[in-house]
Amino acid sequence: MSQLVIPFKPKSNTNDPASIKKKELTELGENIVNDLGKTVKSLVKNSNLHDNMLLISKSFAAHEGNISQTDEMVKQMQQLSQELMNQVKFLENSLQQIEPLNQKVTDITNSIHTAVPSSQPHL
């Protein structure tokens, strides 16, 4: 059979001024904390804090989207720039190859004019 053990609790002196003051201060502290809680709850409710937090979070989300779009645009611009540089190099090489051909055509034309004298005077 088990025994019920009741802890020893000293009987508090209800007439002790320190105990009375401690009880009063505890009750006052509880009232202050409860009033503060109610006040904070009322302030949050009436300040549209939740709506403002949602607005701010949506703004940040849009900003983050803009940043990712900007990053993607920068990557595309870099790719386009590289492609443009490749085309410029190709054009430059093509022009460099045309110059010797142009010189050969000029030389051949000059040699033809010197080899075959024209019967008509040049104006």
Is it the case that residue 10 has pLDDT exceeding 60? no
CA 61 to chain CA centroid, nearest Å: 9
35-47 residue pLDDT tens: 898 888 888 778 7
* Cβ contacts of 19 within 8 Å, gap of 6 or more: 12, 13
Share of the chain above pLDDT 70, in %: 81
Domain ranges of the chain: 21-112
The pLDDT value recorded for residue 55 is 86
The residue among 72, 92, 73 whose CA lies nearest residue 84 is 92
Give the residue, 109 or 78, on which the prediction is more confident: 78
* C-alpha span between 79 and 73 (Å, rounded): 10
The residue among 16, 37, 38, 18 whose CA lies nearest residue 26 is 18
Alpha-carbon separation of residue 70 from 7, 13, 74, 84 (angstroms)? 71, 75, 6, 21
Angle at 13 between CA 11 and CA 17, to 5 degrees: 155
* C-alpha span between 81 and 123 (Å, rounded): 50
Arithmetic mean of pLDDT over the chain? 81
